[in-house]
Amino acid sequence: MMCCSGRQTGIQAAGKFIWGYKYGKEALLKMFKGSKGIWIILLAAVMAFSGAACGQSGDEVSSADNQAAAGGETSATAETAEQDEGSGQAAQAQTGEDYSDSYCRSSYMCFTGLSSALSSVYGEKDFDAKSFRSSVAAAIKKDAADEDKNTDTAAENQDSRDSWPDPSKPMIALTFDDGPYSPVTDRILAKLEEYGGHATFFIVGSRLDRYSSSAIRAVKDGCQIGNHTYGHRNLTKLSAADIKKQIHDTDVKTAYYCGVSTTLIRPVGGAAGSEALRAVAGKPLINWDLDTKDWKSRSAASVEARVLNNAGDGDIILMHDLYESTADACDYIIPQLVSRGYQLVTVSEMAEARGRTLEKGTLYNRIL
């Protein structure tokens, strides 16, 4: 288990300090602008403080609130903003385990995230997935596996899951854009879990403060988190520097809340024709070959028909985890696809099973 188990208030306080106001980057840059080295001193001081807190073995300290303040975040679209306003109380009243409280972000993430954020602004180093240790994600997945072993269903399916996905069998990658939005995302995750499936959630970074519990649950369940920009921006209309910032800021927030960094990008609107985007993306670009148009129809029946009448092996299917109608459709689509013999996998799981290496800056619509 990670040293930060949710009981060390020192680490949590350090994390809140660093990330409290848009994870502290803007405030710190204003304070120390012109003094490139001062942030290193700050990091060392906070690391020493948090390290001492980690070393207090046996001391039981009450857990502080790990949730970042949710108010004031700008929604990905005006449509989403209206939806958030009408359902904020419902999202905060979610039932079941609060995954944000259960998995305290480690001090390592606070230090590395702040370092990457500041240094990338100064242009001293490129931010990439290697900035974050994979052991954090592995720890979360291990906890999930340990819990699953306590259930009869997991015990019965354990042998088959060890070799999953099977490259010799058909598979489909369900993908969801514009979330997370807990009232919908959690329903989709529950149905995937029921049928042993995974999916890829291309998240908007600015939504994580409010709906982080769903993103953390997705990682815990074995799903993949992809990058859908920080502010739902069309990357082909931005400068190279702004493209990097949209990707970087989402990666930092994802690392802070979930302990992982994204490895795939879903361009907003599928717009990926910019040479600047392909040059600086630093990750594979993932579009789709089957668009359910759920955002347009808002009809579960329409989404079901589009998927079940057209889906095939290797497909990447586009949906959005913003609409109740999409969750309604998934309640039917997921068991139907499984009954037809399809393995529901993440984009990266599909690529690995097929022996495909996804190249940085390259656009993919399907994986065969």
Between CA 63 and CA 12 the distance in angstroms is 8
For tokens 């999202």, the residue is 91
Q: How far apart are alpha carbons 318 and 307 in whole angstroms?
A: 10
Counted residue by residue, the chain has a size of: 368
Contact 199, 344 (CB under 8 A): yes
Residue 317, φ and ψ in degrees, nearest 5:
-105, 130
Is 228 noted as a catalytic residue in this protein?
A: no
Kind of pairing between the strands at 363-364 and 285-286: parallel
Q: Which of 186, 209, 320, 321 is catalytic?
A: 320
Residue among 117, 113, 147, 146 nearest 132 (CA)? 113
CA distances from 284 to 79, 226, 270, 349, 364 (A): 28, 10, 13, 14, 8
Query: Do the Cβ atoms of 333 and 317 come closer than 8 Å?
Result: no
Tell me if residue 320 is catalytic.
Answer: yes
Confirm if 144 and 222 have CB atoms less than 8 A apart. Answer: yes
Considering the candidates 177, 221, 249, 315, report the single residue annotated as catalytic. 177
Which amino acids are annotated catalytic? 177, 320
